[in-house]
Chain A
Amino acid sequence: MKIKNPLIILGGIILLIGFYLIGVYNSLVGVAQEVDGQWAQVETQYQRRFDLIPNLLESTKGIFEQEKEVFGLIADARSRYSGAANQTEKVKAANSLESAIGRLLVIVESYPELKSNETVLGLMDELAGTENRVSVERKRYNDKVKIYNVKTKTFPTVLVAGMLGFADKAYFEAAETAQEAPVIDFN
């Protein structure tokens, strides 16, 4: 009689820990899915940005002959993005594209014949709108990553998150070049 009791208690404890682990696992899966879903939103906007650029180049072709450098940067970022193997590379390519687009916007501002062209203006609107969409979706991604990371790093989840295979997720750092105004050399 006396030996049986501790066994029951032990079994109960194991059972409780098992239930706890299942609960933690399920809730972490839910949060991780949200992060991944939000990342997909960011990528959708990246793709939109890449799709817009050829149109802009087409409509500004003649005028931009002397601005080859910017278009070289854009083309380079584009090929790096499509060839990116992982998220970090994608972010890098997207960031360098972002700074190139910033320069492009400033260049367009400096051409009066472009500023009065409805097609170009429309494309610039689309591009600026996409930039804003990217930053909105990215902010939401970071918010979701924050929730996830707080969850995985909080005691007692932190004790089991690694064991269950939930690693930290990286925040989206905006490119430093994108935050400062681009400098254009007009020589």
Chain B
Amino acid sequence: MIKKILATLFLVVPLLFATSKPGHAYDVPKYDGPVNDHAQVLSDELEIELEAYLTKFAQESNGAELAIVTIKNLDGESIEDLAQQFFDDWEIGKKELDNGVLLLISIDDREMRIHTGYGVEASLTDSVVGRIIRNDIAPEFKKYNYEAGVNKGANNIIAAIQNPEQFAEKEKPVTEFFIFFLVIFLITFGSGLMVYIAAFLGRSKSWWLGGLIGVVLGMILASITGAIAFAIFGLILDYILSKNYKTWKLQKKATSWGKTSGGFFPTSSSKSSSSSSFSFGGGSSGGGGASGGW
């Protein structure tokens, strides 16, 4: 009987006394991948590129789980508290390593914070992340180059983790833009040259020079038109393939050469082969890191 009473009390009383958990004022959203662009300042291309990069980095032996979050505003919270809430909620970093890093950017407040997990505090000291904010991210943000700032920030955070001594700069390739520029240059330069040659021929009295120049010009022009034709073809091809890649990646479909018939046709199954569901590893942070504005 007494046991019963005790058991009942034991079960019921804690419920009566139960107090609400320390509530979070801010509603931390669920994550989908390492990059969460709630403020919509990053292009889909960069997001995909960064996600692939960060996912790979998280699996490396001396890697870390880096999460990038942009939000519109802080909703009255301090950036430090909010970063802590995101970190606690998402548990960024591997459980036994606590190797999580969070880059939180609040666009309207013009504030950001790099929040570090316990395990990366040695390489990503507060002064190192403070310097990344001041010297790499903030100058780009001042010019509204959010993409460049985030890209630089991510690269420097990774560089600092892998190689605390020296920071290797990594820039995005510019080949596509260069080819486009070259084509424009050739067309302009080529037509200018033709006008000049025609004027020259009209004045000269020789009858064979026209033929000779015609041959030479024909060869040049053929190569130019050929170059233009191939350039246009290449651009269209690249456009189609990139677009396919992007949409399939967003749908989490396979993007490898073999599985998509050379990049033109998607696989019928929507299940991805490798990274079907992303998840952070259960790491925790003691509140380290640095904040800054721009």
Contacts and interface: CB of A to CB of B under 8 A. Distances in A.
B9 A156 contact: yes
Interface string B109-153: 000000000000000011101110010000000000000000000
B2 A125 contact: no
A69 interface: no
Interface string A114-157: 00001001111110111011111101000100100010011110
Contact of B286 (A122, A136, A155, A156): A136
B288 A129 contact: yes
A153 B215 CA distance: 101
A14 to B, nearest CB: 10
A155 B13 contact: yes
A115 to B, nearest CB: 10
Contact of A123 (B2, B10, B84, B127): B127
A122 B2 contact: no
Nearest to A16: B3
A50 to B, nearest CB: 16
Interface stretch (B14-22, B51-59, B205-213, B224-232): B14-22
Interface string A1-17: 00000000000010010
Contact of A125 (B13, B17, B19, B126): B126
B6 A126 contact: no
Interface string B262-294: 000000000000000000000001111111000
B19 A129 contact: no
B287 A136 contact: yes
Contacts of B127: 121-123, 125-126
Contacts of B13: 154-156
B19 A150 contact: yes
User: Among the interface residues A13, A133, A143, which one has the most CB atoms of the partner chain B within 10 A?
Assistant: A133
A101 B250 CA distance: 48
B37 interface: no
A133 B130 contact: no
Nearest to A24: B10
A17 to B, nearest CB: 8
A136 B88 CA distance: 11
B80 interface: yes
A47 B288 CA distance: 15
Interface of A: 13, 16, 20, 41, 45, 118, 121-126, 128-130, 132-137, 139, 143, 146, 150, 153-156
Interface of B: 2-3, 6, 9-10, 13-14, 17, 19, 22, 80, 84, 125-127, 129-131, 134, 285-291
Given A133-B287, A156-B13, 6 more contacts: A20-B6, A125-B127, A125-B130, A125-B131, A128-B126, A155-B13
7 cross-chain pairs, A with B, having the tightest CB-CB distances, nearest first: A136-B287, A122-B127, A129-B126, A125-B130, A133-B287, A125-B126, A132-B287
